[in-house]
Amino acid sequence: MTSAAAVVMGNMIGAGVFTTSGFALADLGDPTIVLAAWVVGGVLAMFGALSYGALVRRMPESGGEYLFLSRAVHPAAGFMAGWVSLLAGFTAPIAAAALGLQAYVAYSFGVTVRPEWIGTIAILAAGLMHGLRVRDGVLLQNIAVGLKMIVIGGFLVYGAFALPDLPPSLAPAPAFELGAFAVTLVWISFAYSGWNAAVYMAEEVSDPEKTIQRSLILATATVTVVYLGLNAIFVYSAPIEMLAGRAEIGAVAAEALGGAPLKRAVSAIVVLALFTSISSMIMAGPRVYAKMADDGLFPAFFKAGAKSPGAAVALQTSLALVVLWSTGLAQLLGYIGFTLGLSAAATVGALLKLRLREGAERVAIPGYPWVPGIFIASTLLIAGFMAVREPLQAGLGLLTALVGLPLYFFAKRRAA
């Protein structure tokens, strides 16, 4: 369970938590409301983890949403989810983590090379680590995640005692706007999105029916507490005017609390966190494509080999590099959160379909029907607000999913 939980925590604690609150403060203007959004996001992530845990108990195989929707709904639905995983589930988040990493490195350490090269090195290093030997990659991943959690814990303790008594803001408190809050939840859902990471490699852990569910719940609860602590320090470390709209909000907060030395120390923590996030996604994502290759929907050379799905890892690494060099962080956050939210809602909907078809004894769901029902309804409501306020990002998300349908029929015809 340790390795599975480490993959989940490594996947979750990435670009979102270290960048989102700066954008959220710019939109919401109130630190308390920003923290409330992180609480709501954590509750929804836990409901999702409980639902996915029930799915793994019913289908203890690797493949994630692709597997669940293929088996419970239709292979076409699974293929669309796998296609979404390829682009919005892993490729875009890997690029987003690399973009966040290079922003912190450039801001705190004065690196003068073109920033994209920093992210490129991180992605290539993770790809090599997981493309050669599974055991070595998992060991390095566990060590890195453990170190990351220790140093983040140290920063939380320091920040709790170092927070200043800020003078009241001269600007009037903004009126609460539900649409802006919902868009913030889309960004925050990206920060929490790794809660499902362990399901992509269920076949590679012992006793997955129990291990995966426990690792999802433990890791999600731990990360939620860490997120609330980190963001409380971030948003209360300095006046809103210094923090709003800043992607590197963690470094700005650290500088306000402890000057340049703490800024560099915290940035080093963030760089480690973002690298382990990149590493976790490059470990988990290719298992989806290997599963699709097993089912004849991807070329056969993407199947997992004796040691690692090397070809799938190479594909994931290459696509992430393309996105890294062609877009920016702000554009990715909304697209990823919206698209992955719809995919997760569809997958939990498949769980409810299994429950109705096979009965409560075979498909046991914690907190049924409230846990899966609230997760689906809330996710769709948030996505609706996102579509109204940010139609371009939402449209790209829908297009990503819909393109998977003709690709499925093309793949089926080719395999026939």
Q: Which residue has the tokens 């995640």?
A: 145
Question: Using CA atoms, how far apart are residues 363 and 361, in angstroms rounded to an integer?
Answer: 6
SS percent in the chain: helix, strand, coil, step 5: 80, 0, 20
Full set of structural domains in the chain with CATH: 2-415 (1.20.1740.10)
CA 118, 120, 124, 130 dihedral sign is positive
Query: How many Å apart are CA 380 and CA 377, to the nearest integer?
Result: 5
Q: Is 53 exposed, middle or buried (0-12, 13-18, 19+ CB in 10 A)?
A: buried
Range 385-400 average pLDDT? 89
* Mean pLDDT taken over the chain: 83
Tokens of residue 410, six digits: 């093309």
- Say which range, 114-123, 186-195, 205-214, has the weakest mean pLDDT: 205-214
CA–CA separation, 364 vs 209, rounded Å?
Answer: 12
Query: Does the pLDDT of residue 331 top 80, yes or no?
Result: no
pLDDT at 3 exceeding the cut of 70: no
Average pLDDT over residues 337-363: 91
Task: Tell me the per-residue pLDDT of 251-268, one tens digit each, with 9 for 90 and over.
Answer: 889 898 988 888 888 888
| 166-186 residue pLDDT tens | 655 555 667 788 888 988 998
Mean pLDDT over 213-226 rounds to: 86
Identify the CA nearest to 159 among candidates 271, 255, 20: 255
**Ranges 9-13, 68-72, 84-88: which has the least confidence:** 9-13
Residue type, 235: V
* Statement: residue 330 has pLDDT above 70: no
Supply the pLDDT for residue 166: 64
Number of Cβ atoms within 10 Å of the Cβ of 281: 30
